[in-house]
């Protein structure tokens, strides 16, 4: 599933390609996505101009210039498309002349011969129209936690102290930190030298700070390299990610740790495979500080 770095890359790719473009029509396939596109939404978005793109957690918000048709909400409220990539979704802007791939479920025809396409082989993704951007924002904020770059240090320590859940489960909980998934939970825990099975309440204040800083650092680097392309993910311009070449532990079971050269291990936690180094991330106590790898994986 695309996580925050992949979604942020899509937003950054699409922003210059879509801002100022007008939607002149909508086409949809007969197969439904996780949440079906409603026929009445065709007329609601046709003629609207894209004014901006944003991200909240793993969600993409495409702001439109049409005012909230209900007249409610704050001054300046407008309509918005809320997009989730699911497990295999691709949201790209391309010339209308480009051949159409399979599993193409929604096409927004744009002015100047462009198209905004939503493709999703597994159909767990969705694109939904909201007549109020303020309501859409409020709805996301109601169940999403901190953005990884905006975590309050003291509140973070207090929240971890109150939970007996293992750290892998904590990081996968979108109500705790938004946008972190399996890949970046493993990578952040490795960078912080913390075993994924440790209870949140077992961490010292220093370990809490290490984890908070590691989450932000891993996410920042992943965004710089356009995220991780494991299977289907591509950015908004169709380009693949590169962070998969820098994974320290994720997907590297049995391979040498980039720090101590011991074998990377894998256990099942929170229903997901969790990769870690037993030496650098001991079950208790401080691990060895990770150093940059000499060369990217596969070089």
What stretches of 173-242 show up as alpha helix (H) in DSSP?
Answer: 182-192, 205-224
pLDDT for the residue 298: 36
Residue 207 is among the residues annotated as catalytic for this protein: no
Grade residue 32 by pLDDT with cuts at 50, 70 and 90: confident
Q: Give the active site residue among 28, 55, 56, 58.
A: 58
47-71 average pLDDT score = 96
* Assigned token pair, 214: 């590691």
pLDDT for the residue 239: 75
Q: Give the active site residue among 2, 131, 148, 258.
A: 2
Residue 32 is among the residues annotated as catalytic for this protein: no
What would you report as the CA-atom Rg of the chain, rounded to the nearest whole angstrom? 21
Residue 2 is among the residues annotated as catalytic for this protein: yes
pTM score: 0.89
Residue 154 is among the residues annotated as catalytic for this protein: no
Report yes or no: 18 and 53 within 8 Å, Cβ to Cβ.
yes
DSSP state of 122: S
116-126 average pLDDT score = 94
3-state class of 130 per DSSP? strand
Tokens 């990770």 sit on residue: 290
Domain boundaries of the chain, sorted by first residue: 4-143, 153-276
Is domain 4-143 classified as CATH 3.20.190.10? yes
- Per-residue model confidence as pLDDT tens digits over 75-112: 899 999 999 999 999 999 999 999 999 999 999 999 99
Report yes or no: 59 and 100 within 8 Å, Cβ to Cβ.
no
- Per-residue model confidence as pLDDT tens digits over 252-290: 999 999 999 999 999 999 999 999 999 999 997 544 444
Q: Give the active site residue among 122, 272, 288, 293.
A: 272
**CATH architecture, domain defined by 153-276:** Orthogonal Bundle (1.10)
């Amino acid at each position: 599933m695309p996580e925050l770095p992949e979604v942020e890359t899509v937003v950054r790719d699409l922003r210059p390609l879509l801002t100022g473009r007008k939607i002149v029509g909508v086409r949809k396939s007969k197969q439904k996505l996780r949440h079906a596109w409603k026929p009445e939404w065709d007329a609601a978005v046709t003629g609207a101009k894209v004014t901006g793109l944003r991200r909240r957690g793993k969600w993409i918000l495409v702001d439109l210039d049409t005012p909230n048709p209900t007249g409610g909400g704050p001054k300046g409220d407008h309509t918005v498309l809320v997009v989730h990539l699911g497990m295999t979704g691709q949201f790209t802007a391309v010339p209308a002349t480009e051949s159409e791939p399979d599993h193409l479920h929604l096409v927004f025809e744009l002015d100047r011969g462009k198209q905004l396409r939503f493709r999703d082989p597994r159909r767990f993704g969705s694109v939904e129209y909201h007549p109020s951007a303020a309501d859409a924002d409020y709805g996301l904020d109601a169940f999403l936690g901190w953005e990884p770059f905006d975590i309050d240090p003291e509140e973070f320590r207090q929240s971890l102290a109150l939970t007996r859940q293992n750290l892998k489960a904590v990081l996968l909980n979108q109500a705790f930190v938004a946008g972190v998934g399996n890949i970046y939970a493993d990578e952040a825990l490795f960078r912080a030298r913390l075993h994924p099975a440790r209870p949140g309440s077992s961490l010292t204040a220093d370990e809490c700070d290490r984890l908070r800083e590691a989450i932000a650092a891993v996410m920042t680097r992943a965004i710089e390299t356009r995220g991780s392309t494991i299977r289907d993910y591509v950015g908004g311009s169709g380009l693949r990610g590169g962070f998969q070449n820098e994974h320290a532990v994720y997907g590297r079971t049995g391979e040498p740790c980039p720090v101590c050269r011991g074998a990377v291990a894998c256990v099942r936690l929170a229903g997901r495979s969790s990769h870690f180094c037993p030496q650098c991330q001991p079950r208790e106590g401080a691990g060895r500080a990770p150093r940059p790898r000499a060369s990217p994986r596969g070089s």
